[in-house]
Amino acid sequence: MRPLAPEQLPTGWPASLLPAELPAGQSRLLTGLLNRVGVDGAVRDACRSRILESALTLALVIRHGQPHQGARFRIMRYLERHRHTGNPLEAALADTALGRGNVPVRHEMLAEMTAQVPEFAGVRKRALLHAVFIILGADPAYDTSGPDAFAVDALHPWAAVQVTAVKAVLGQAAGKAPLGAGDLALLASTQRRGIVWEGNLFVHLLVLHALADVPGMQATVDEGLGTALMYQRDDGGMPFVTDTDTWSTVTAGLALHAAGAPRRVLHRVGRHLRHVQHKDGGWSYTDRARLPDTDCTTVALEFLHQLDPYAYRDPIRRGLDALLAVRGADGGFPTYGAGTPSEACMTAAAVNALSTQGRLHHGIIQSALHFLAGSQLPDGSFPPGWSSSRLHTLFRAHLAANHSFRTPPSPIRDMNERILSLVLAAQRADGGFGQQEGSPSDAISTSYGLIILTGQGAPAPAARATRYLLAQLHHDSGGGITSPPDILGPRPFPYHVPVLADAFALLALGHLSRRIRPCRAAVPRPPAQRLATRRHRPSPAP
């Protein structure tokens, strides 16, 4: 996600062609994000409440949580307040959890959800949503889940546990034989008092529902419910995960570097990332998780290389080894673990990380880019990834092509041209970009679009996107960005960590600064330093 080097960019743009408020807006964003860097170098922001986990927790409290009636009342109030979000799936989940009639599981809702996830995950996601509605009290009506929905071969640990829990819920609803000893042992192994397994509250709750009617598991379920309620938010709702501290840190770190933040702060971030790196060399979205992922690993590698490739040579080397270890036979890269399906966005992310090493991995990069080009859809977009915005994979694929080649070969050049054509056509009248065709403009999608626009010739589209983005800045001293969430988990459910909007907006403006003549990053200085500069500035020549 790092900006392109000057030699990889077209001719610079005069600052006069871009919004006059750009330096002040970038400075406010930078100051706000600098203030989010903790003493230990981590960037933390709470994952906000969500209807999905709130509904699952309410169902569990109703069945097994007699001592938690206060929590029950607060969750119900949260669901009542948020059921009219405009999202039909969220409204159906909230209404079902609140007991508003015996809602049937709708075929079209299952089909719509399946269309929003990668093809290889579609059958599992359909079974998952079916199980969630049954947990919340919907009429099961039918069971469309064949054996493919419960196959755990080549699944990463989170997916294996999730699939096993779904199998238990659907099996109980259909009156099938209970889970075998191995499956029960797998589910029970995720439960430890006071600890949410892998930081994933959704999977934690799903497991508790799967175990709720199993003889001898009452104490485990009671303890697990108590653990879950430790993360009830002030608004009464429940989040998807305990935190995303490592993902927030790597994303913010790269944005801060692109914006010219003080190196002492950047090294504080770098030391934190070195501390939370796994023994196998990878990074996870949170230091509570043991399963590394390609997303966090690649962005951490880009950041550490940008910061100081010599000082961080050991974590960089180990991170690269971990990344290469999961490469697929098709040349692509998966999100989690060797042998799992390669994905376009993660392949682009891997290319961006590997390209920091010059030509060392040239053959691997070429193979990955050919996989990426082969994944592109006729309209220029890519299959669904981990963002509800189609522009997320687009901007990372655009960077992958341009980081790797000064003059890309034909298939890669064609891929990049289709990306640019789609983005130029998708820009709204207000200058912004939406998550999908027909979606209203939002700040995060616009940040992704702006990164792509900084790599093409004419400045007008980038200027319009910048103007829209700056208009989304808060007017208070914090200087943050307002945007709906786009990050997904489990796909296709979005979850909200507000600091990520600030990070991606600042990253986009950091990319833009590379096209401005002369290239100057907007680094805020303390008032005393600015005053001293004015006092010692030489007088104009007569």
The domain defined by 19-47+243-372+383-517 folds into Glycosyltransferase (1.50.10)
Euclidean distance between CA atoms 210 and 222, whole angstroms: 13
CATH 1.50.10.20 domain range(s) in the chain: 19-47+243-372+383-517
DSSP 453-504: HTTSS-SHHHHHHHHHHHHTB-SSTT--B-----BBSSTT-B---THHHHHH
**Has this prediction a pTM greater than 0.75?**
yes
CB 56 within 8 A of CB 135: yes
Lowest mean pLDDT among 101-105, 109-113, 494-498, 507-511: 101-105
- Shortest CA distance to 267 belongs to which of 301, 293, 303? 303
- Dist. CA 80–CA 86, nearest whole Å: 13
Active site residue ranges: 295
- In tens, the pLDDT along 249-302 reads 999 999 999 999 999 999 999 999 999 999 999 999 999 999 999 999 999 999
In the prediction, which pLDDT does 160 show?
A: 95
Q: How high is the pLDDT of residue 141?
A: 63
Tell me what the mean pLDDT of segment 137-157 comes to.
76
Phi, psi dihedrals of residue 245, rounded to the nearest 5°: -60, -40
pLDDT attached to residue 522: 45
DSSP H helical ranges for 308-456: 313-325, 344-354, 362-375, 391-404, 410-426, 443-453
pLDDT tens-digit series, residues 50-60: 999 999 999 99
Tens of pLDDT along 413-454?
999 999 999 999 999 999 999 999 999 999 999 999 999 999
Q: Across residues 61-88, what is the average pLDDT?
A: 90
User: Quick check: helix, strand or coil at residue 295?
Assistant: helix
- Contacts for 332 with CB less than 8 Å, ≥ 6 apart: 342, 343, 344, 346, 347, 368, 371, 372, 375
- In this structure, the chain runs to a length of 542
Tokens representing residue 127 in the block: 């079974």
H or E element that contains 217: none
Has residue 535 got a pLDDT over 50?
no
User: Worst-scoring range by mean pLDDT, 31-35, 170-174, 446-450?
Assistant: 170-174
Structure tokens at 227: 């653990």
